[in-house]
Amino acid sequence: MFDRRLVQHFDWVLLIITILIATVGVITLYSAVAGDPARSYLYVKQLYWLGIGATFMTAAFIVDYKLLEQWAVPIYLFSIILLIVVLFFGKVVSGSQRWLTLGPISFQPSELAKITCVIILARHFSKDITHEGMSVRDLFKPFLWVIVPFCLIAMEPDLGSALLILLVAGSIILFIKIRRGSFIFLAALGASGMPLVWSFLKGYQKQRILTFLNPDRDPMGAGYHIIQSKIAIGSGMLSGKGFLKGTQSYLSFLPEQHTDFIFSVLAEEWGFLGAVTMITLFLVLLVWGINIALRSRENFGTIVAVGIVSMIGWQVVINVGMTMGLMPVVGVPLPLISYGGSSVLTVMIGIGLLMNISMRRFMFQRFGR
């Protein structure tokens, strides 16, 4: 039977924050595509995806999240199979083979992999937490859990999603606690391996990194995106040009304005105040998510919550950073703001799990921490 205490502990704050961010996203997306007849319908599709996402979010907070701990390995393996399938049968768009098509619907398995990596790592660490911190040997098995999807996603290629999985895994490990010597060793190992990583990057990926270091080296080519994005953000000044009055976006000077660079659209039309308001909403969401993690009374829920918060948080940092020229352009969407069904579903599932953990915190006793 459904426990009435779950209704009493429903997290209305998290739901309201999510609705507010999604509303900002639809309004901004409407403005981003208003000047492009070929894409003017995308905000309607985004509403459909949000509706579907709400269904998945409901399922994510109704079903006891502890079942995910039991089914973590099969869920992870299913995600890996999808990543393998997309390499052979995926749809190629702009040189990347990231999408699987099922009838009229296309989705990115790499988005599902973000959630499944959080779940499998939470399962592993919840059973093996020590007060002394994790050693390099302790991290060998989690490394295998992470490196497989990382490599498969990087082969698509989708460097942004692959790096995001590493960042989320790293955030979870730092939360669990890693020994200082092990951290220094891994940091040195990572730094020494950068030349090898560089040799495996595609030509356009290298170009993006070089352009990040110096956008003016190719202002009409690789640096065009960043330069136009900075112009849009700067032209918004304090209060913005007004809704549907952004010249950079309306005249299509701003590339990928409905996905990667949608923050630039918002900043141009609503200015510094609008951008700060949006970032504040995300900060409230992240702080609330951390609060849910800390209030959880068992380790699996705590680690899942930390993983989801880091997944959303890193996407915000990377997306906003790349539109401002502070990070390389790696194609990471702004959660619930950028257009994209796969991203919307992933974030909504993650928020549903946060609600689930928040609602059921009174049903468990913490152990091992």
Instruction: Write the pLDDT tens digit of every residue in 308-320.
Output: 999 999 999 999 9
Query: pLDDT tier at 337 (50, 70, 90 boundaries)?
Result: very high
Please say whether the beta carbons of 294 and 40 come within 8 A: no
pLDDT for 67 beyond 70: yes
Nearest to 162, CA basis, from 122, 189, 202? 202
In a domain, residue 349? The reply is: yes
In a domain, residue 103? The reply is: yes
Q: What average pLDDT does the segment 256-260 reach? A: 84
Distance CA 15, CA 10 (A): 9
In a domain, residue 366? The reply is: no
Output the six-digit token pair for 1. Answer: 């039977």
pLDDT for 98 beyond 80: yes
- How much is the pLDDT for 204? 67
Q: What average pLDDT does the segment 322-330 reach? A: 86
Task: Decide: pTM greater than 0.75.
Answer: yes
Q: 168-172, 309-313, 324-328: which has the minimum mean pLDDT? A: 324-328
Residue of 270 and 182 predicted with greater confidence: 270
pLDDT for 8 beyond 80: no
pLDDT for 367 beyond 60: no
| Count of domains observed in the chain | 1
pLDDT for 193 beyond 80: no
pLDDT for 274 beyond 80: yes
Distance CA 77, CA 72 (A): 9
- How much is the pLDDT for 363? 63
Q: What average pLDDT does the segment 134-138 reach? A: 85
In a domain, residue 367? The reply is: no
Q: What average pLDDT does the segment 169-181 reach? A: 90
Query: pLDDT tier at 6 (50, 70, 90 boundaries)?
Result: low
The residue range of the domain holding 285 is 4-361
Q: What average pLDDT does the segment 344-368 reach? A: 81
In a domain, residue 368? The reply is: no
Task: Give the chain's length.
Answer: 369
Q: What are phi and psi of 71, to 5 degrees?
A: -105, 15
Residue of 34 and 167 predicted with greater confidence: 167
pLDDT for 1 beyond 50: no
pLDDT for 2 beyond 60: no
Average pLDDT, the chain: 87
- How much is the pLDDT for 30? 93
In a domain, residue 86? The reply is: yes
- Beta strand pairing call for 105-107 and 91-93: unpaired
Q: What average pLDDT does the segment 201-224 reach? A: 68
91-93 β-sheet, strand order: 91-93, 96-102, 105-107
Q: 27-41, 120-134, 196-210: which has the minimum mean pLDDT? A: 196-210
- How much is the pLDDT for 347? 97
Nearest to 332, CA basis, from 350, 352, 312, 348? 312
Q: What average pLDDT does the segment 30-42 reach? A: 85
Please say whether the beta carbons of 199 and 234 come within 8 A: no
In a domain, residue 299? The reply is: yes
Q: What average pLDDT does the segment 204-226 reach? A: 68
- How much is the pLDDT for 214? 67
Residue of 16 and 231 predicted with greater confidence: 16
Residue with tokens 């829920």: 301
Query: pLDDT tier at 222 (50, 70, 90 boundaries)?
Result: low
In a domain, residue 17? The reply is: yes
pLDDT for 109 beyond 90: yes
- How much is the pLDDT for 271? 94
Nearest to 334, CA basis, from 51, 110, 22, 96? 22
